[in-house]
Homo-oligomer: A and B are copies of this chain.
Amino acid sequence: MNAGAKAPTLHDVARAAGVSLATASRSLNGSERKVNEEYRVRVLAAAAELGYTPNLSAQAVAKGTTMTVALLVGDIADPYFSSIAAGVIRASEEAGLIVTMAATERDATRELDLVKALRGQRPRVLILAGSRFAGEETQPALAAELDAFESTGGRVVFISQPELPFDTVLLDNYGGARQLARALVDLGYRRFAAISGSESLLTARDRLTGFMDGLAEHALSIPTEHIVHTEFTRDGGYDAATELLQRGIDEVELVFAVNDVMAVGAMSALREGGRIPGETIALAGYDDIPTVRDVTPALTTVRIPLEDVGRQAVELALAPKSDRETATPIAATVVLRGSTPVLATTAVTD
């Protein structure tokens, strides 16, 4: 292979097939115009022979539009995001679109920079799955950037938070957590602790609020000293549980972590601290990531069909704009598992 060679161009194909550039172009992409079958075959043969692949960048320039979907996630190694990404990728491929991904590392400034950079690709769709924070000072700049993007024909879809006026795949974080609280009270739990993310992280906030409101329906609450705010990661959960143990949670019956990744970390910490999950302490999470079926005991959580969320983001983006208002939140369903056994001992107080 002569390394200096250039990729064959449409021009080369046309020449090899003995037709004009226009005819070659028309034969190779399903254009409106018909092309003489004999020519078409000749062009296809020449293309195959030369190993021609259309230059997508050139096509994009010529057509003024691309076939790419840009996806922004917080951290691709986090199962929450990777499940969503899997959905986005599948749905995009079905629609003949290519996905480009970037990770914000949960940093709003980085997110803004990445949006700027990704805009340069002129993607058809920009999906923002990274977490939103309350009171970000980058918010106006982000909104401006996204506005500009939409005004030039792009489509923006957020996942989870309807903070900005763009299409959003709504996750019912508040409602799901509230249902979970009710279900846990029904099981007999009365004394809770909670592990949440940063206070400004909207997803964490909504879930915690929903949970507290669910408890409030039964005149229950979580004392402030039993709520720990921490990193939205496995290690954050581990640290938070350790902290709780130090603060003293002897009488606490159940720890609610606002996402599964944290819950799993907390589970390890609690066990190491002598509180056996599912026996001497109950534990619940949120998201229903795949692994929580396989921890011991299996984790009670709120199921979000994450891959569907990714799919729907793509579908929403590809649908005509008018559907915007009709978006219904993705249903969240409580899944009770071994980590929250029926609490018989306190049933009498009910």
A-side interface residues toward B, CB under 8 Å?
1-3, 5-7, 51, 53-58, 60-61, 64, 66, 68, 75-77, 79, 82-83, 85-86, 89-90, 93, 98-103, 116-122, 144-145, 147-148, 150-153, 234, 264-265, 267-268, 271, 290-291, 293-296, 307
Whether the pair B98, A121 counts as a contact (CB closer than 8 A) is yes
Give A4 Cβ to nearest chain B Cβ, in Å.
8
Q: Are A150 and B89 in contact, CB atoms less than 8 angstroms apart?
A: no
What distance in Å separates the Cβ of A281 from its nearest Cβ neighbour in chain B? 14
Number of copies of this chain that the complex holds: 2
| CB-based contact A77/B68 at 8 Å | no
Contact A75/B86 with A121-B57, A295-B295 known, Cβ cut-off 8 Å: yes
**Is the beta-carbon distance between B53 and A119 smaller than 8 angstroms?**
yes
A57 touches B294 (CB 8 A): no
By a CB distance below 8 angstroms, the chain B residues around A119 are: 53
Say yes or no: B54 contacts A120, CB within 8 Å: yes
B264 x A77 contact (CB < 8 A): no
Query: Given B83, B98, B101, which contacts A89 in the complex, CB threshold below 8 Å?
Result: B101
Bound-state Cα–Cα, A47 to B147, Å: 17
What CA separation (Å) do A119 and B56 show in the bound complex?
9
Q: Closest residue of chain B to A6, judged by CB?
A: B152
Docked CA distance A145–B7 (Å): 12
- A122 engages B79 (CB within 8 Å): no
Query: Which residues from chain B contact A76 at a C-beta distance below 8 Å?
Result: 76, 82, 85-86, 89
Q: Say whether B102 contacts A89, CB under 8 Å.
A: yes
A155 to nearest B CB, angstroms?
11
Q: A6 vs B296: C-alpha distance in the bound complex, in angstroms? A: 55
The smallest C-beta distance from A108 to any residue of chain B, in angstroms, reads: 16
Name the B residues within 8 Å of A264 (CB-CB). 291, 294
Point out the residues of chain B lying under 8 angstroms from A83, CB to CB: 77
Query: Are A122 and B152 in contact, with the CB atoms below 8 A?
Result: no
Complex contacts, A152 vs chain B, CB 8 Å: 5-7
